[in-house]
Structure 1
Amino acid sequence: RCPDFGVHYTYSVDGQLPGVMQQLIVINSSLTVVQTERIKLGALYQKIQKSIDRPGVLQSLIAGAGETALPKFQGRYRELQRDLNQLAQKYGPEHPQVRKLRIDLEAQERKIDDERQRLIDVAKTRYEVVQDREAALLARHDELKREVQDLNEKAIRYGRLKRKVESNQRLAKVLIDRLGETNLNMKMMGGTKFELVDPAEVPTVAINYRPVHTMSITGAVGLIIALGVAAGLGFLDNRLDTPDDMAYLGFPVIGTITQHKASRDNKSQGGVEPVLMLEAPSSPTAEAYRMLRTNVLFSYADPPRKVFLVTSAHPNEGKTTVSVNLAFAMSQMDRRVLLLEADLRNPSIHKFFDLDGRMGLSELLLREDYDGYITPYEGNLSVVPTGERPPNPSELLGSKRMEQFLAYAREHFDAIVIDTPPILAVSDALMLSPLVDGILMVIRSNMTSYDHARRAISQLLTLRTNLPAPLDQAGIAQTPGVSLGLVMNYLDPRAGRTYGYYGKYNHYYTDS
């Protein structure tokens, strides 16, 4: 099944999807232009309708509706009016020339009325044409979105089938090798001649069996069964354990954070994890945060980007710990850094800094002056906790006031790190994603499954169609222009020895 599936969908995944995404970006741009024009023409047409009985206002509105002879008609009307007044005073109202001028004046007035009506009709027609254009673009936009979602689902299915085929191919190779050995043994035995020396009889006493031989065979069979069970369980377990597993998601892995002993001890006692950038700056985990900082700053250096959203698929993956330590690491590079806690439902950043969490983001967004709510902490780092929990967190984070505050923060800080709730739990992170420059998705080792991580990424991409391009791995669909990086968190230090400088040279930091 899989080869046929690959032939059918390889073009769709690797060739068609980037083109569809490019079409979607073009449609979005065109839709913005058309909607702006529709609003403009709609407002003009409504004003014209309301000003039918107000010639002065109507005149100023329809002047921009298109090319018109109206000024010429009105000029001629004024000339006839002037001539009529002069002749009427000179010859009287019943003079033939006065009567003729009066008829010409009425005809000219009808021309002016006809031209006004024509311009009103032109404004209405232009408005209706733009409405039709907008409806067509919206329909095409919805069609392309459905097509992108369908291609993403097919890409995921193809990736699963491909891994299954590779596993079956390895198993088939083992079976073929075993079959070859069996055939060879049978051929060798075929050349051996046997003759009956003593017929078999039913024994009358207990047989002296060979326990060592029997145990060897039993052990070998048990080992084969155990290996088969282990292989089956490994195939069914699709949790992401190492950075190599994350490569199948199709996006760059920009950080690998090992679990520090102090973090494990504090979590087991129900406390807050220590800020390792302050309390253990020479540890391998602190060096991992510095490497993450370097990757973030240099990956998004051209064009320069400031606002970074940190999220995860599920709770308890360590996104808040990553946010706090990343903000500290950035501030140590002589950069003004703002750490913003946007997890309004389950706040915890204020516990790291021992701050009063009752005054923060939820109150800041209701004020014009932000300075009193931004708390300088240490060096170049400033913190904004959540404040009181609002009744509508998603709407507040997606509001115009939030957009205005981020614009203010861009002017006053070199980097803004935003801690947000998990994507699959609530929609808060999705509301903020269009307002940021880059997204860091934290994935906990040996906890987050491939399917859940992929679903969380797909929800982000639905809103971020204009977000460096992901990697081309294992048939995963490509989406151009998405500033999304993956961070593996809580990696077992024993596994982390093979990933990165800080793990490979772990003894260096331990000795220091």
Structure 2
Amino acid sequence: MDKPAQPRDRTWIAQRLVSDAPDMLQMWQTIWRRKWSILTLMLIIMLATALATYAITPTYRASTTLLIEKKTANVVSIEQVYGAEGTGNEYLETQFALLKSRALAERVVRTLDLTNHPEFDPRQQEESLIGIGGLLSSLNSAQAVPAPQPEDLEGAAAGPSETQIFDAVTLDFMGRISIEPVGKSQLVKVQVDMADAELATRAANALANGFIEAQLEASMNMSILATTWMNSRMGELRTKLKEAEDRLQAFREKENLVDIGGVASVSAAELSATSDRMIDARRQRAEAQSQYRQVQSMRSGGWQKLATIPAVLGHPLIQQFKADEARARAKVDELSKRYGARHPALEAARSDLSAASASLRGQVEQIVAGIERNYQLAVANENSLRASVESNKAQIQKISRKEFEVRELMREVEANRILYETFVTRLKETTATADLESANARVVDPAVLPSAPIRPMKGLIVGLSGILALVSSVGITLLLQILNNTFKSTQDVENKLNLPVLGILPLIKNRQRSQIAHLFTSDEDKSFSESIRTIRTALVLSGMNGPHRILVVTSSLPGEGKSTVAANLAYAFGQMERVLLIDADLRRPTLAKNFKFPVGTPGLANLIAGTAKTDDCIKSIEGIDMICAGAVPPNPLELLSSERFAKLIDHLKSRYDRVIIDSPPIQAVSDATILATHADAQIYVIKSEATPIPLAQKGVGQLLQTNSPVTGVVLNQVDVKKAQKHGYHYGGYYDYYGYTKPQKAEPQAAQGSQA
């Protein structure tokens, strides 16, 4: 290698900065090869967002423009009572508050009958929920969704009262009103948001007109109050009205009545509630009676029969005690098979069984007693409620008789009051109508039907979701690329390990491990065979100064294909030399399994231990000699570290031109480090896109620390076609013709990219 420039050299510093900078081209290649996945995810998210936004009910906004002016009051006393004076912003703020007042909202709700509109009426919304509940109940057999119970539907049918509905609709409508002043002018926009565009238009206009009418009514009411206060001469009508009211009050005091209507409604409500409670009590008594009859019918059979009643059997404590008894009985059965009848363990188990049975019996009796008590309480509750219903009926009849007399007196009072108010109105008609022009607001622009909803903004939402999906997809793609810290190309191996790549082996699909071990001799996959020959040539050329007689093949972890590389490499060298293949993985041997050696075939462990001879352990398979691992020893490391193993290697080295040793993984055990001390050359196998770079660096570092002759790296199981799509190339390592020829003959062979 060339000596690097000094740190002070500006050219060297610039090169370092460029090398440390992010590889924008590689990032772009990563994004480009994942472009269809990114675009697909973006389109899916945009489609889902579009469907979600189109499922949202659109909201329309209708706007009415009002002009609010200050005016001089014609009747000073009325204006003082009304309190409409004010200047500047305070006056306008007061008018804005009146536009959003509850009274004005109630007026619009009544005018447009919003309590019966589907958008506001909670009863119609509950009906839709009940319909959904029926749909869910039809699907209850396939999904664990609880169907609505009849009593729930009955409660939903009762629903809230008219007053509650009106209050809820009013609050809902108030929440949809917004007041927006137009600049610094006296114009103000009254806006109403609704899902129904036509209704929103009507509501905005009704709100503006109602505000104006409320101003007029307020002035008129103040005039009437002032006129009534000033007309103190109306004593005769007032006296007559007072006498009628006194008679009504006297009757109420005599009969001790406060509010006949309220009492009647309370009694009716109480009767209705008591009737409902009696129905529930009758149902509860029927259920308790059913369980009670089951108990009475089973009582003659003892507590075992009582335990079979569903109400008892389904109790959690009964199930627990039954489980305890079953375990105790199983233990007695198990111990009775192993010990005698008087064995202490068996007697203890029987004692536990008796205790469990006694506990179960006691719990059964408690639950049965509880069922009987529940039945008695249910009967008593039903009788009590029945008596209460009869009492309420009698009370309501009594109240009805008194109500008739009260209403007759009230009609007399009301007639006198109408005469009195009519007379006062006629006298002061001129005064009352004098302030009709006192309304200080008028409609400038009435609301028109909105053409488009204000939300949701579907185009903007879909566009933003697409942008976010695109950015997220690109970020996830780059993050996954960064997190995939494995070897994906020969350049990665050479840059990260500073070792030459002897060759690559293509990924073989749909083949067993034993089939791949014979793949070179069968020559079924031309690309694989040519790759093995390439590795063989690289090893021969690297040993020109001194032949590599002892060749050790290892890897970082199990499953990276080192045994396959060793076997096929042995066959490749066997075409030119006398080769011996040794399975030195004494912990997880594979040679005997791949080549179907008979069970009990002696091997390396037997040779080192001295329990077998060399000729008995050597097996010739398809032109090469092999020594399997033999019997798996309890101390593999001690055997490989022994003097007998070193002498065995020297002996085999004299008999063969090349000895290839299949070593255990370097990160799994220390055996590979011991075997490396006997090697003339060492091959490090790395699985493409699987072996972590730090793990391989650690393994190679361990070998180099012991001065092991690491010759090079074999990149195994490379999906060449996939790698080519990802922008990786293997020129110089892969034979073009060896790869392309078998594609038509063997479609199941590994698919790779052309070198």
TM-score (norm 2): 0.38
Q: Distance in 1 between matches of 2:490 and 2:189?
A: 64
Do the aligned partners of 2:602 and 2:616 also contact (CA within 8 Å) in 1?
no
Match of 1:236 in 2: 483
Match of 1:355 in 2: 597
Which of these two proteins has the greater Rg computed from alpha carbons? 2
Q: Residues 446 and 408 from structure 1, CA distance in 2 versus in 1: closer, same or farther, beyond 3 angstroms?
A: same
Offset from partner CA, 1:435-486 (integer Å, 9 cap, x none): 101111111112110110011111111211xx5xxxxxxxxxxxxxx43311
Match of 1:492 in 2: 719
Q: Which of 710, 718, 721 is the aligned partner of 1:483?
A: 710
Match of 1:178 in 2: none
Structure 1 position 299, deviation (Å): 1.7
Do the aligned partners of 2:526 and 2:741 also contact (CA within 8 Å) in 1?
no
Q: Residues 373 and 208 from structure 1, CA distance in 2 versus in 1: closer, same or farther, beyond 3 angstroms?
A: closer
Q: How does 1:172-183 map to 2 (within 5 A)?
A: none
Whether 2:551 is the aligned partner of 1:308: answer: yes
Offset from partner CA, 1:340-387 (integer Å, 9 cap, x none): 0100011110122211353011112244952232222222x1000111
Do the aligned partners of 2:530 and 2:738 also contact (CA within 8 Å) in 1?
no
Match of 2:656 in 1: 413
Q: Distance in 1 between matches of 2:26 and 2:655?
A: 57
Match of 2:95 in 1: none
Structure 1 position 212, deviation (Å): 4.9
* Count of matched residue positions in the alignment of Structure 1 and Structure 2: 310
Moved over 4 A (4+): 161-165, 167-171, 198-205, 208-214, 271-274
Q: How does 1:25-174 map to 2 (within 5 A)?
A: 165-166=21-22
Match of 2:501 in 1: 253
Structure 1 position 335, deviation (Å): 0.8
Q: Distance in 2 between matches of 1:202 and 1:505?
A: 81
Whether 2:624 is the aligned partner of 1:397: answer: no
Q: Residues 442 and 169 from structure 1, CA distance in 2 versus in 1: closer, same or farther, beyond 3 angstroms?
A: closer
Q: Which of 226, 235, 253 is the aligned partner of 2:473?
A: 226
Give the letter aligned to residue 240 of structure 1. Answer: F
What SS does structure 2 have at the residue aligned with 1:395?
helix
Q: Distance in 1 between matches of 2:538 and 2:552?
A: 15
Greater relative contact order (CA < 8 Å, ≥ 6 in sequence): 1
Do the aligned partners of 2:603 and 2:617 also contact (CA within 8 Å) in 1?
yes
Give the letter aligned to residue 509 of structure 1. Answer: P
Structure 1 position 494, deviation (Å): 1.8
Q: Distance in 2 between matches of 1:202 and 1:343?
A: 87
Q: Distance in 2 between matches of 1:164 and 1:289?
A: 36
Structure 1 position 328, deviation (Å): 0.8
Q: Which of 578, 585, 598 is the aligned partner of 1:336?
A: 578
RMSD: 3.5
Q: Residues 281 and 393 from structure 1, CA distance in 2 versus in 1: closer, same or farther, beyond 3 angstroms?
A: same
Structure 1 position 510, deviation (Å): 2.5
Do the aligned partners of 1:443 and 1:486 also contact (CA within 8 Å) in 2?
yes
What SS does structure 1 have at the residue aligned with 2:661?
strand
Give the letter aligned to residue 436 of structure 1. Answer: A
Q: Residues 163 and 455 from structure 1, CA distance in 2 versus in 1: closer, same or farther, beyond 3 angstroms?
A: farther
Q: Residues 501 and 318 from structure 1, CA distance in 2 versus in 1: closer, same or farther, beyond 3 angstroms?
A: closer
Q: Distance in 2 between matches of 1:210 and 1:261?
A: 51
Q: Which of 501, 507, 512 is the aligned partner of 2:740?
A: 507
Q: Residues 208 and 338 from structure 1, CA distance in 2 versus in 1: closer, same or farther, beyond 3 angstroms?
A: same
Give the letter aligned to residue 494 of structure 1. Answer: K
> Which blocks of at least 5 consecutive residues in structure 1 are unaligned?
1-5, 11-158, 172-197, 468-481
Q: Residues 241 and 370 from structure 1, CA distance in 2 versus in 1: closer, same or farther, beyond 3 angstroms?
A: same
Structure 1 position 410, deviation (Å): 1.7
Q: Which of 442, 448, 452 is the aligned partner of 2:685?
A: 442
Whether 2:537 is the aligned partner of 1:287: answer: no
Q: Residues 504 and 452 from structure 1, CA distance in 2 versus in 1: closer, same or farther, beyond 3 angstroms?
A: farther
Do the aligned partners of 2:517 and 2:567 also contact (CA within 8 Å) in 1?
no
Q: Distance in 1 between matches of 2:190 and 2:739?
A: 68
Q: Which of 606, 622, 634 is the aligned partner of 1:378?
A: 622
Q: Residues 314 and 215 from structure 1, CA distance in 2 versus in 1: closer, same or farther, beyond 3 angstroms?
A: same
Q: Residues 501 and 239 from structure 1, CA distance in 2 versus in 1: closer, same or farther, beyond 3 angstroms?
A: closer
Match of 2:588 in 1: 346
Offset from partner CA, 1:397-431 (integer Å, 9 cap, x none): 12222211211222211111100111111000101
What SS does structure 2 have at the residue aligned with 1:416?
strand
TM-score (norm 1): 0.54
Structure 1 position 202, deviation (Å): 9.1
Match of 1:215 in 2: 462
Match of 2:126 in 1: none
Give the letter aligned to residue 374 of structure 1. Answer: I
Structure 1 position 278, deviation (Å): 2.4
Match of 1:32 in 2: none
Q: Distance in 2 between matches of 1:219 and 1:389?
A: 60
Do the aligned partners of 1:262 and 1:274 also contact (CA within 8 Å) in 2?
no
Give the letter aligned to residue 22 of structure 2. Answer: E
Give the letter aligned to residue 276 of structure 1. Answer: L
Q: Provide the identity percentage.
A: 30
What SS does structure 2 have at the residue aligned with 1:485?
strand
Q: Residues 296 and 170 from structure 1, CA distance in 2 versus in 1: closer, same or farther, beyond 3 angstroms?
A: closer
Give the letter aligned to residue 243 of structure 1. Answer: T
Offset from partner CA, 1:48-83 (integer Å, 9 cap, x none): xxxxxxxxxxxxxxxxxxxxxxxxxxxxxxxxxxxx
Do the aligned partners of 1:283 and 1:510 also contact (CA within 8 Å) in 2?
no
Q: Residues 169 and 360 from structure 1, CA distance in 2 versus in 1: closer, same or farther, beyond 3 angstroms?
A: closer
Offset from partner CA, 1:304-353 (integer Å, 9 cap, x none): 22111011111111111111111111112x21010001000111101222
